[in-house]
Amino acid sequence: MLLGDMVDMAIRRHANELCFVDITQKKRFNFRQFGERIYRLANGLLSIGIKKGDRVAILQGNCHQYLETLFAIFKVGAIAVPLNIRLSGQEIAYQINDSEANTLIIGESYLELLKSIKSDLKTVKFYICFEKPIEGMRYYEDLIKNNPATNPEVDLREDDPFMIQYTSGTTGVPKGAVLTHKGAVSMAYDYMVHYGFYPRDKLLYVFPYFHVAVLIPITCFWGGGVNVTLRGFNPQEIAEVIQNEKINCCPLVPTMAYFLFSIPNIEKYDFSSIRGSVFGAFPLSETIAKKSMEIFPGGIAQSYGCAETTATVLLYNETREKIEAENYKTITSCGKEMMGVQVRIVDDEDVDVPVGEVGEIIVKGDRVMKEYWKRPRETAEALRGGWFHTGDLARMDEQGYVYIVDRKKDMIKTGGENVYPVEVENVIQSHPAVMFVGVIGTPDEKWGEVPMAVVQLKPGIKPSEELKKEIIEHCRARLAHYKAPKKVVFAETMPMTAAGKVLKRELRKIYSGK
């Protein structure tokens, strides 16, 4: 099966049922209407010369047109290159040039940014604007209006790429992970089984569509569910939409959950329609897990993956059972391997480590990326032995639950001991004054490296030397002393990825000169 086949199947089975709700644009579509727009756009892309294998870059916030565009790209056999709207102009130009995209489909909000980088774009021939006619660009709605609503015939294979997903660059220059139709369908099957999407289910998707997790709304579409989206992340608006639209599932990252759960009088909202919420991006703290179960009593699912693959899932019923039994250990894990993959924890020689010991997560299965775009050396290293090496450190317990420890490159070596920043961050995060934290290693003449905590305080909390000492003592009371930060610095804001992770690479540049 191909991604385009999933589109066709959903349209045939659910033609007159509600398909998409765009809250920001106040638009609603049934599957037949949405499908006609997809087919017309696909034929429009073919009509201007876009063909199988061409890379099509997209720069836009969440909207119904974004999902239409992805499906149309899949239908014509082109390769989508979703661009992170939070990147600088130089970073966006790099990804467009690196992918050799010949088409850029762009939102009106980003036209000024385009002006600043257009002379640097080496491969783009076709420019398309989503919202309105622009001189020198094609208009998105004209491509839909002026082309037939017939299913385009393009010869595609399961191993053909459908997307180049750039890594977040947390450890260096972003690399383009080439994902295939076969891998995407494999992921969709797993999402369908593990998250349980059903016809007419409502999914509120507030992750950015440029993230690889866009396969969640694609799966919802395939299953006959209703995709609901907002242009930006507004916690108050999200709470209102969950209540008013009777949302069944709302994926979040822990950072989003923190802001959602902090809105005034959250208890007044009716979240009884929520069957469960899906968490990802980084380990879920016990505090957020407990609060999530209070707000969304149906359950939470925790998953682990990256741009190159998905790997593990902790199911709704598992979190419910553990919390009811007041056993909070398991809910801080990212679960067990998904049905379509194999997961191992190995040492530097790729030998499985004993149960409970820390090693690198490696993954094997259809959904693992095909390659890094134009990077044969990095591809060979990452896929050595037929297994994808994630660069993430974890341990696995005797029941097969995986617990993320940290990025391999983020590990701090102090006086011969290994310190995993996530462990320290979880302790600091539990301090009532702390909103966000990143722990990095800084050079030390005596110990080689020592941990430093960069902290963003909650609104209204004033930084002080006393508070720094208090945070350090908070850690020393809960961790081995060598793990506690030797220094705490306060930051007004933290550099973050689109998935809500603190960019430690940027912290190291600012605070340790690395």
Lowest mean pLDDT among 129-133, 351-355, 482-486: 482-486
Lowest mean pLDDT among 45-59, 183-197, 320-334: 320-334
Q: Are strands 487-490 and 309-314 parallel, antiparallel or unpaired?
A: unpaired
For the chain, give the mean pLDDT.
90
Distance CA 117, CA 327 (A): 53
Burial code of 169-195, b = ≥16 C-beta within 10 A, e = fewer?
bbeeebbbbbbbbbbbbbbbbbbbebb
Q: Which residue has the higher pLDDT, 321 or 178?
A: 178
Q: Both 46 and 167 in a single domain?
A: yes
Q: Both 457 and 360 in a single domain?
A: no
Q: Both 248 and 299 in a single domain?
A: yes
End residue of a domain, out of 349, 377, 407: 407
Percentage of residues in the chain with pLDDT exceeding 70? Answer: 94
Residue 201 domain flag: no
End residue of a domain, out of 359, 383, 407: 407
Three-state DSSP at 392 gives strand
Q: Indicate the number of domains in the chain.
A: 3
Task: Assign residue 118 the CATH number of its domain.
Answer: 3.40.50.12780
pLDDT tops 60 at residue 365? yes
Lowest mean pLDDT among 62-66, 378-382, 392-396, 442-446: 442-446
Spatial CB neighbours of 144, under 8 Å, sequence gap ≥ 6: 37, 40, 41, 44
**pLDDT, position 332:** 74
Give the type of residue at 118. K
pLDDT tops 90 at residue 379? yes
Residue 308 domain flag: yes
Q: Both 440 and 396 in a single domain?
A: no
pLDDT tops 80 at residue 416? no
Structure confidence by residue, pLDDT tens digits, 43-65: 999 999 999 999 999 999 999 99
**pLDDT, position 390:** 92
**pLDDT, position 51:** 96
Residue 330 — very low, low, confident or very high, per pLDDT cuts 50/70/90? low
Structure confidence by residue, pLDDT tens digits, 93-152: 999 999 999 999 999 999 999 999 999 999 999 999 999 999 999 999 999 999 999 999
Q: Both 399 and 428 in a single domain?
A: no
Q: Both 251 and 301 in a single domain?
A: yes
Residue 463 domain flag: yes
**pLDDT, position 327:** 61
Residue 323 — very low, low, confident or very high, per pLDDT cuts 50/70/90? low
- Residue 165: which domain range? 3-14+25-171
pLDDT tops 80 at residue 415? no
CB 76 within 8 A of CB 175: no
Q: Both 499 and 382 in a single domain?
A: no
Structure confidence by residue, pLDDT tens digits, 247-294: 999 888 777 888 888 898 898 999 999 887 777 655 666 677 777 778
pLDDT tops 90 at residue 237? yes
DSSP 3-state percent helix, strand, coil across the chain (nearest 5): 35, 25, 40
pTM more than 0.75? yes
**pLDDT, position 217:** 94
Task: Assign residue 418 the CATH number of its domain.
Answer: 3.30.300.30
Q: Which residue has the higher pLDDT, 221 or 167?
A: 221
End residue of a domain, out of 407, 436, 452: 407
Lowest mean pLDDT among 87-91, 195-199, 339-343, 362-366: 195-199
Residue 406 — very low, low, confident or very high, per pLDDT cuts 50/70/90? confident
pLDDT tops 90 at residue 340? no
Q: Both 449 and 398 in a single domain?
A: no
Residue 444 domain flag: yes
Residue 224 domain flag: no
**pLDDT, position 320:** 67
Lowest mean pLDDT among 228-232, 266-270, 316-320, 413-417: 316-320
Q: What is the 3-state secondary structure (H, E, C) of 244-258?
A: HHCCCECCECHHHHH
Phi, psi of 335, deg, nearest 5: 90, -160
Distance CA 1, CA 380 (A): 28
Q: Both 361 and 437 in a single domain?
A: no
Using a 10 angstrom Cβ sphere, with 0-12 exposed, 13-18 middle and 19 or more buried, the burial of residue 380 is exposed
Structure confidence by residue, pLDDT tens digits, 67-90: 999 999 999 999 999 998 988 898
Q: Both 141 and 35 in a single domain?
A: yes
Q: What is the 3-state secondary structure (H, E, C) of 215-283?
A: HHHHHHHHCCCEEEECCCCCHHHHHHHHHHHCCCECCECHHHHHHHHCCCCHHHCCCCCCCEEEECCCC
Find how far residue 495's CA is from the centre of its chain: 16
Percentage of residues in the chain with pLDDT exceeding 90? Answer: 64
Average pLDDT, integer, range 379-384? 96
Residue 204 domain flag: no
End-to-end CA, the chain: 46
Residue 445 domain flag: yes
Q: Both 241 and 380 in a single domain?
A: yes
Question: Computed from CA positions of residues 89, 95, 97, 103, in that sequence, does the dihedral angle turn out positive or negative?
Answer: negative
Q: Both 293 and 334 in a single domain?
A: yes
Residue 140 domain flag: yes
Phi, psi of 324, deg, nearest 5: -60, -30
pLDDT tops 90 at residue 462? yes
Distance CA 270, CA 386 (A): 48
Measured from the Cβ of residue 443, the count of other Cβ atoms closer than 10 Å reads 11
